[in-house]
Amino acid sequence: MREVLVTGGGGFIGKKVAQELLSRGIQVRLFDLVKSNIKGVNCDYVGSILDPYKLSHVMKGCSHVIHLAAALGVNRTETNRLECLLINIQGTINVLETCVKERVEKIIFASSSEVYGEQPVQPIIEEALLNPKSNYAASKIVGEEFMKAYLETYKMKYNIVRFFNVYGEDQRDEFVVPRFVKNIVNDKHPDIYGEGDQIRCFCYVEDAARGIVDVLSSPAESEIFNIGNDSEPISMKDLASKIIKISNKNLKPQFVSYDDSDRDSHRDIIQRIPSVEKAKKELGYKPKVSLEEGLKKMIGFYEVKNNC
Ligand SMILES: NC(=O)c1ccc[n+]([C@@H]2O[C@H](COP(=O)([O-])OP(=O)(O)OC[C@H]3O[C@@H](n4cnc5c(N)ncnc54)[C@H](O)[C@@H]3O)[C@@H](O)[C@H]2O)c1
């Protein structure tokens, strides 16, 4: 592997991916709308994946690409639906076109567990029938399909990673774990949408970064891997209570109806538990950080932030 370009390298997962690559002795270039300021990377380019000329310039000489740049978050992808399609579909096509032009050996595409929607069978395996419920999920499926089309047309090698609920310090506040932790650290009740029975499995960001770099480093081709932490499914109301307990606060979760939130009850997924057996067997992937450990790190992060 000569050098890896990480698109979205200034983002929440992208920065950890850069650190993971560097820790394995792999040379890294980053490309994002924002600078990452990660020490040790060869270049930290600022620009958009909607700009093919800039993409060509930053990808020159790279043998591998991890494509993370995307529009995400319910607010952003449902309010600005066209922008989401433009970045996640046209942006991904631009990245693929540039990979062909610059003779990149292999690309890893970051997709999402959102593509599964509601599933009758849990844990969810990679072969499950896709059932997207949102603009964002549909845009990720289109991205996946373009990976397959480029393999057919240009023999472009790829793998797809479907991340399941990644969390950690530095994540934007609109996602559930930082939203709960931030409120609780600031002595505010955490807001739960609906009844709080939605089940998720949360994966600490360093485990997610290890997972995608494991996929990059493996000889696997044209494969899809779920990357998440399958060990501790938890409901939203239990998650809120757990954070309150770890923080040692006297607070209670506050239930908010969907009508008063940015969520849509028809689009909310009730249960989402990943099967990561394929990644465990084929890549030796193993999530290491327990939910309690990850939450403690986040609580510490917000406490320090408050004192600054
Ligand atoms: N966080 C999760 O739980 C999760 C779950 C499933 C999938 N994913 C996927 O993982 C990837 C990384 O997500 P994240 O959580 O780090 O989100 P993030 O928003 O922190 O990172 C995305 C990055 O993409 C950049 N970006 C957006 N538009 C761009 C453009 N036009 N050109 C260049 N850069 C652009 C943003 O500036 C941002 O830094 C995304 O593809 C996302 O869909 C994340």
**Domain locations along the chain:** 4-169+204-229+275-288
* Percentage, residues of the chain above pLDDT 90: 88
Does position 63 have pLDDT exceeding 80, yes or no?
yes
* Percentage, residues of the chain above pLDDT 70: 97
Q: How many CB atoms lie within 10 A of CB 233?
A: 18
104-130 per-position pLDDT tens digit: 999 999 999 999 999 999 999 999 999
Q: Name the residue of 5, 6, 7, 12 to mutate for ligand 1: max ligand atoms within 8 A of Cβ.
A: 12
Q: Does residue 123 have a cis peptide bond before it, meaning omega lies within 30 degrees of 0? A: yes
pLDDT computed for residue 74 by the predictor? 76
* Ligand 1 and 49: CB distance under 6 A: yes
Q: Fold for domain 4-169+204-229+275-288?
A: Rossmann fold (3.40.50)
Q: What is the mean pLDDT of residues 7-14?
A: 98
Q: What is the mean pLDDT of residues 18-44?
A: 96
**pLDDT confidence tier of residue 207, bands split at 50, 70 and 90:** very high
Distance CA 231, CA 83 (A): 35
* Ligand 1 and 72: CB distance under 6 A: yes
- Nearest Cα residue to atom 27 of ligand 1: 70
72-106 per-position pLDDT tens digit: 987 789 889 999 999 999 999 999 999 999 999 99
Q: CA distances (Å), 248 to each of 82, 232, 235, 295, 296, in order?
A: 43, 21, 20, 13, 11
pLDDT computed for residue 240 by the predictor? 97
Return the half-sphere exposure (C-beta side, CA atoms, 13 A cut-off) of residue 154. Answer: 20
Distance CA 193, CA 222 (A): 38
Gap from CA of 92 to ligand 1 centroid (Å): 12
**Phi, psi angle pair for 108, to nearest 5°:** -110, 125
Gap from CA of 63 to ligand 1 centroid (Å): 22
- Residues 117, 133 contacting (CB under 8 angstroms): yes
- Nearest Cα residue to atom 5 of ligand 1: 163
What is the average pLDDT score of the chain? 95
Q: Which two tokens stand for residue 72?
A: 């995400």
248-306 per-position pLDDT tens digit: 999 999 998 777 666 666 668 899 999 999 999 999 999 999 999 999 999 999 988 88
